[in-house]
Structure 1
Amino acid sequence: MTGRFARIETDHGDAETAVAVAQALAPDNTAEMETSVDGSTVVTTIDRESTGGLQSTLDDYVVNLQVAEQLTTTDGDTSTTTTNT
């Protein structure tokens, strides 16, 4: 690790969906990122030198994660509406 570190774990209900989400995320991973699957959970670690760099990468990752999740929905809903709770 170089300086700033984040670990993001998201559960996707089943292993097949988690693998699909991880595969959708992989092309956007930088050299400082690693994504793996543990059962139904996608685990991504990000290691950046600065807090600003980490924040930027996390922001991009969250957007990419939302898109990846939408691409794996089985109900055919292509809505980009999200609810923050």
Structure 2
Amino acid sequence: MTRAATIRTEVPDPGLVAAAVRPDNTAEMDTRVEDGGVVTRIERDDTGGLQSTVDDYVVNVTVATEVAQHANRHTTHES
């Protein structure tokens, strides 16, 4: 039985964040921009594998979001 999770993340620049995390996707993952957020569906054969993949993905999205926000502040000269 396949296990699945769908994660929706609201971020200021969903296209940029989705593009940043998409290269790390495995064959069991699909990342897209939907209604202004990043939506990723992950499917794995077992619960432990699903949990590990979700954990890694959450870290990647967090880092991508922080980098995008930092780049935006730098580009717009905000502090």
Normalized against structure 2, the TM-score is what? 0.85
RMSD: 1.1
| CA deviations over 1:21-41 (Å, ceiling 9, x no partner) | 000001100000000001311
Query: Is 1:7 equivalent to 2:3 in the alignment?
Result: no
Percent of aligned pairs sharing the same letter: 50
Unpaired segments of 5 or more residues in structure 1? 77-85
| Secondary structure of the structure 2 residue equivalent to 1:72 | helix
Moved over 2 A (4+): none
Report the alpha carbon displacement of residue 7 of structure 1 after superposing the two structures with TM.
Answer: 0.2
1:80 alignment partner in structure 2: none
48, 51, 58: which one pairs with 1:62?
A: 58
1:34 alignment partner in structure 2: 30
Unpaired segments of 5 or more residues in structure 2? 75-79
User: Higher helix fraction: Structure 1 or Structure 2?
Assistant: 2
